[in-house]
Amino acid sequence: MAQPVISATGLYTPPHSISNDELVESFNTFVANFNKEHAAEIEAGTVEALLPSSTAFIEKASGIKSRYVMDKDGILDPERMCPCIPERSNDELSILAEVAVDAARKAMKAADKKPEDIDAVVLACSNLQRAYPAMAIEVQNELGIGGFAFDMVVGCASAVYGIQMAVDLIRNGTAKCVLVANPEITCGHMNYRERDSHFIFGDVATALIIEDAATCTVNGAFEIVSARLKSQFSNNIRNNFGFLNRCAEEHAHDPDKLFVQEGRKVFREVVPLVSDMIVSHLKDEGFTPGDIKRMWLHQANCNMNDLIAKKVLGREPTQLESPVILDEYANTSSAGSIIAFHKYHDDLAPGDLGLMCAFGAGYSAASLLLKKRA
Ligand code: COA
């Protein structure tokens, strides 16, 4: 029976970073302009005045201090508030594939894999650039990988669902070595004019090499001991963008065609769902939370992560027990728990257990029990 392992990870970080102060300044200029332009309607009570954002609120409510983005100028321009990402010809590599390929090359190098060693590509992320051909096939082609490739979209749990898909492919004998790539260009689905959520997301790409332990040649790989996947329908995180939008053109550009959420409800409903899932996963495997050296949690909100870790451990977690990367990266959708893993795993000792857990739109949630090898 094959024993799938994570043999290495790769991380692509975009060149531009936006601080909360920069983002808030742009947002508040937009608000001031809007309120000035609509002063008469606001006075007459027919238009509601917009309220300003604040850095203090963002940091307290979410723990986010900055985010990386593919384009800074377009987002910060109060007249535009949308990244400028020029369209490319069909002969050029798509931007979503480009960032995935960058992370994938780093993961392949770290795992000591050549394209011919890999026989499947799973591209798992929240937002695909197009309907078809699959983004995964473009990545496969650019890297010169044989075999097969496909896309998976499961909100912020996409990457961990993608890893479990790779595990199943390896256990079934369908593939021997799988590249899982998670390109998250989240600035494309952000509504930078929306006060409740303009600060939430950042861009990044991660990649992992998943293979049978028997073919792994690098030290310090992590055995994927077991997984739990859970989904439960909710409208509290939603994006109605899709190929049928043009059939109802009067609504084609409404704000619901971008990311929208009921943040407080998400917080309330997801915390128990995820903490119960982690505790019962560990119990099923014969472990207690005290047996776990590290939790690599989805990075949406530091207060949420603290509460989940507290419910699991029965006490406050330390930074090393539940590392936070969202202060620098913000919510990078499905890549968040992979970035936390990428940056915080070298110090674990052989035999140490860790748990990766992602959660988000759907609701979708997934936990992976990992064990460090020698
Ligand atoms: N600047 C200043 N004030 C703001 C603000 C902003 N940008 N946005 C909202 N506020 C105000 C609200 O108007 C509200 O004011 P009121 O108390 O006078 O009504 C107050 O701040 C609290 O707003 P609320 O939306 O309840 O904040 P919150 O503490 O719930 O934090 C989130 C908001 C989004 C950070 C938080 O709910 C969250 O992260 N939830 C989980 C989301 C999640 O995990 N999503 C998964 C996505 S993949």
Q: Is 254 exposed, middle or buried (0-12, 13-18, 19+ CB in 10 A)?
A: exposed
349 near 372, Cβ under 8 Å? yes
What is the distance between the alpha carbons of residues 51 and 196, in angstroms, rounded to a whole number? 10
Please check the confidence at residue 362 and state whether its pLDDT lies above 90.
yes
Beta strands in 170-253 (DSSP E): 177-184, 204-212, 222-231, 237-238
Say how far apart CA 148 and CA 140 lie, in whole Å: 8
Q: Does residue 305 contact residue 331 with C-beta atoms inside 8 Å?
A: no
- Which region holds residue 63: left if phi is over 0, alpha if psi is between -120 and 50, else beta? left
Of 84, 125, 156, 302, the active-site residue reads: 156
Mean pLDDT of 237-262: 96
Q: Which atom of ligand 1 is nearest to the CA of 126?
A: 48
Question: What's 189's DSSP letter?
Answer: G
| Full-model pTM | 0.97
| Residue to probe by mutation, ligand 1, list 193, 266, 268, 305, most atoms within 8 Å of CB | 266
Q: Whose CA is nearest to atom 37 of ligand 1?
A: 263
Instruction: State the average pLDDT over residues 188-193.
Output: 97
How far is Cα 233 from Cα 219, in angstroms, rounded to an integer? 40
Examine the pLDDT at 250 and tell me if it is beyond 90: yes
pLDDT tens digits, residue range 292-309? Answer: 999 999 999 999 999 999
Residue whose CA is at the smallest distance from ligand 1 atom 34: 263
What would the mean pLDDT of 104-122 be, rounded to a whole number? Answer: 98
Segment 63-90 shows an average pLDDT of 98
Spatial neighbors of 29 by CB under 8 A, at least 6 apart, are: 78
Q: Which of 189, 264, 297 to mutate to test the pocket of ligand 1 (most atoms within 8 A of CB)?
A: 264
**Spatial CA neighbour of 208 closest among 49, 332, 100:** 100
Please choose, from the candidates 164, 283, 321, the residue with its C-alpha nearest in 3D space to the C-alpha of residue 229: 164
143 in Cβ contact with 123 (< 8 Å): no
Distance 193 CA to ligand 1 centre (A): 15
**292-297 β-sheet, strand order:** 148-152, 120-124, 177-184, 204-212, 4-12, 222-231, 364-372, 353-360, 292-297
Question: Residues of the chain with pLDDT > 90: what percent?
Answer: 99
With a Cβ cut-off of 6 Å, ligand 1 is lined by 53-54, 57, 61-62, 156, 195-196, 237, 261, 263-264, 266-267, 300-301, 304, 331, 360-361
Q: What is the largest CA-CA distance in the chain?
A: 73
Number of helical H runs and strand E runs in the chain: 11, 13
DSSP string, 313-366: HSSPPPTTTS---HHHH-B-GGGHHHHHHHHS-TTPPTT-EEEEEEEETTTEEE
- What pLDDT, on a 0 to 100 scale, did the predictor assign at position 340? 98
CA of 264 to the centre of ligand 1 (A): 7
Higher model confidence: residue 135 or residue 374?
A: 135
What's the gap in Å between 196 CA and the centre of ligand 1? Answer: 6
User: pLDDT by residue (tens digit) across 143-181?
Assistant: 999 999 999 999 999 999 999 999 999 999 999 999 999
Q: Residue 37 C-alpha to ligand 1 middle, in angstroms?
A: 26
Per-residue model confidence as pLDDT tens digits over 322-352: 999 999 999 999 999 999 999 999 999 999 9
82 is catalytic: no
Ordered DSSP codes for 22-66 = HHHHHHHHHHHHHHHHTHHHHHHTSSPPPPPP-HHHHHHHH---E
Distance CA 221, CA 257 (A): 40
Q: What is the pLDDT of residue 210?
A: 98
Q: Mapping DSSP to helix (H, G, I), strand (E, B) and coil, where does residue 371 land?
A: strand
pLDDT, residue 330, reads 98
Indicate the top mutation candidate among 58, 184, 301 to test ligand 1's pocket, ranked by most ligand atoms within 8 A of CB.
301
pLDDT value for 220 = 95
Report d(CA 19, CA 140) in Å as an integer. 35
The Cα 275–Cα 57 span in angstroms is 26
Instruction: Transcribe 278-322 into DSSP letters.
Output: HHHHHHHTT--GGGEEEEEE--S-HHHHHHHHHHHHSSPPPTTTS
| Superfamily, domain 222-372 | Thiolase/Chalcone synthase (3.40.47.10)
Residue 374 predicted with pLDDT over 90: no
The protein residue with its alpha carbon nearest to ligand 1, atom 46, reads 360
- Mean pLDDT throughout 199-209? 98
Amino acid 279: pLDDT:
96
What is the pLDDT, as a whole number, of residue 231?
97
- For residues 161 and 366, the answer to whether their CB atoms sit within 8 Å is yes
HSE-CB at 167 with a 13 A cutoff on CA atoms is 20
